[in-house]
Amino acid sequence: MIGLTAARQALDFNELMREHRGMVFSVLWHFLHDRDLAEELAQDVFLSLHKNLRAIESTAHAGHWLRKVAVQRAIDAARKRIRRPQVSLEDVAEPSVRPVTGDPLLGDMLRRLIATLPEGPRMAMILRYQEDLDPAEIADTMGIPLGTVKSHIARSLAMLREKLERRGVGER
Amino acid sequence: MDWLEQELTQALARKQPAAGFDARVRARLQRRPQWLAIAAALLVMVGAGEAWQQYRGHQAKEQVMAAMRIAGGTLESRASAVERRRPMKLLPTAVLLASLSATLWAQQFQFNLDHLKDKASESADIALNADTLGIAARFLDSKDPDEAKVKKLILGIEGIYIKHFEFKSSGAWSATDLDRVRVQLKGPEWSRIVGVKSGDSENIEVWMRTEKGKVSGVAILASEPRQLTVANLVGNIDIESLAELGGHFGLPKLQKK
């Protein structure tokens, strides 16, 4: 009986890992901009999941739980860094060619600009546009007030528009 | 959703980690030593009866197999990074590491590494004496290839002692830590049979202790910037059995001299 339970848990864990590894890794990578660190922390997140598997009630619950843990690990790791942010605004080079919408160059510029945001707005933007969460869900995941989330997103979007306009990128 | 938000959705689309992520997580799960502390606590509980004996036997077996996996992972990672291109000598599979513990009397040298525990993100501290190994041997399945190899190996072994640390960043341990171990291996009974160095970062040393012409112990010192492993395998060790561990527990196949 114990063996069967253990086997079922292992199977469930593997399925959960397959389903959610992209989400966990991407939250960490987009937030930290360090692929190796993101991979290591993503592994840590799944080790935590394995340890707490008995408390997980469903796949959806696992996704919610993993997202929360990934967010917390990302913020903790960022705070431990000596340098913050890792990518400064000065490092976001002016493109030699103006990027157009849908251009990988623009995508890269956006990711780098987001990396310059302070922790709270950065994570709010990642959860909004990577995870497609609404502000209430973001507030719940980050454990901050709804108003703060809305403010983070609005100000971040305004900042991005300003920076992009300065680089000659806008709506076509 | 306006154009900028659409661009953000594309820019922040989910990405998968590098191939093999699941396997790397599972490997770390296998190496996790936390349960050993629980098992050790259970083993010292007062108990009686057949059920307890069965339980104790299985726990002992699991400890031995876990020790092999932890040490196997340690050497495998170094073997792949350091030595894969040239055949390892006879022993690097000796795989079994030592720690300062209540059974210190059985160890052949002291580890003096306890101060690293607080710095480590993960650690394994395994001390298996002859009694535990004897119990484990009875529960190892001769029909299972891995277990059969271990069963043969541990027949003459009196103790397996492991101290393994993993750190989040380099610089947590120093050369002095290993020197304090190494200085104890300078006696005539010890001889270094394997020494592999890759730049300044990864090292493996395997030392063999002989008494009256017989192998009576093996020491392993393996290090890289974020990992440190020290091992002591005590007893009348069958070198052939050690060599046969190659290809098991993630260890590379070994070529004899």
Across A13-18, average pLDDT: 92
- Give how far Cα A19 sits from Cα of A10, B12, B18, B146, Å: 14, 18, 15, 32
Residue B240's CB is within 10 A of a number of other CB atoms, namely 11
According to DSSP, residue B256 is labeled: -
- Cβ contacts of B74-80, under 8 Å, gap ≥ 24: B74/B164, B74/B222, B74/B227, B74/B229, B75/B204, B75/B220, B75/B222, B75/B251, B76/B249, B76/B250, B76/B251, B76/B252, B77/B224, B77/B227, B78/B196, B78/B202, B78/B204, B78/B222, B78/B224, B79/B204, B79/B251, B79/B252, B80/B252
- Which burial class, exposed, middle or buried, applies to B96 when counting CB atoms under 10 A from its CB (0-12, 13-18, 19+)? buried
Spatial distance between the Cα atoms of B255 and B88, rounded to a whole number of angstroms: 6
Facing residue for A29 by CB, picked from B8, B11, B15 = B15
- The distance of Cα B252 from the centroid of its chain, to the nearest Å, equals 14
According to DSSP, residue B163 is labeled: E
**Residue B46 region, left (φ>0) first, then alpha (ψ -120 to 50), else beta?**
beta
Facing residue for A21 by CB, picked from B7, B12, B16 = B16
Checking if the pLDDT of A25 tops 70, the result is: yes
The phi and psi torsions of B205 (rounded to 5 degrees) equal -130, 135
**Residue A28 binned pLDDT confidence (cut-offs 50, 70, 90):** very high
Contact flag B2-A171 (C-beta cutoff 8 Å): yes
Q: Nearest CA to CA, how far is A168 from chain B (Å)?
A: 13
Q: Nearest CA to CA, how far is B94 from chain A (Å)?
A: 28
B171 three-state secondary structure: coil
Note whether A9 contacts B: Cβ–Cβ < 8 A. no
The residue of chain B nearest to residue A19, with distances taken between CA atoms, is B16
pTM of the model: 0.47
Which residues on neighbouring strands pair with residue B233, listed in sequence order? B160, B218
- Which burial class, exposed, middle or buried, applies to B146 when counting CB atoms under 10 A from its CB (0-12, 13-18, 19+)? middle
Mapped to the 3 state alphabet, what secondary structure does B70-131 carry? Answer: HHHHHHHHHHHHHHCCCCCCCCHHHCCCCCCCCCHHHCCCCCCCHHHCCCCCEEEEEEEEHH
Give B6's contacts (C-beta < 8 A, 6+ positions apart). A101
List, for residues A102-141, the tens digit of each pLDDT value: 677 888 889 989 999 999 999 999 999 999 999 999 999 9
Cβ pair B51, B211 in contact under 8 A:
no
Tens-level pLDDT at each residue, chain B (257 residues): 788 999 999 999 999 999 999 999 988 887 645 344 444 433 433 333 344 455 556 666 666 666 666 555 544 444 444 333 333 333 333 333 333 333 334 688 888 888 888 888 887 777 888 887 787 777 777 877 777 777 777 777 788 888 888 888 888 888 888 888 888 898 888 888 777 666 566 677 878 888 887 788 888 888 888 888 888 888 877 656 655 555 444 444 444 43
Contacts of A138 in chain B (CB under 8 A): none
Residue type for B70, please? I
- Give how far Cα B80 sits from Cα of B76, B83, B86, Å: 6, 6, 10
**Residue A94 region, left (φ>0) first, then alpha (ψ -120 to 50), else beta?**
beta
The phi and psi torsions of B193 (rounded to 5 degrees) equal -110, -20
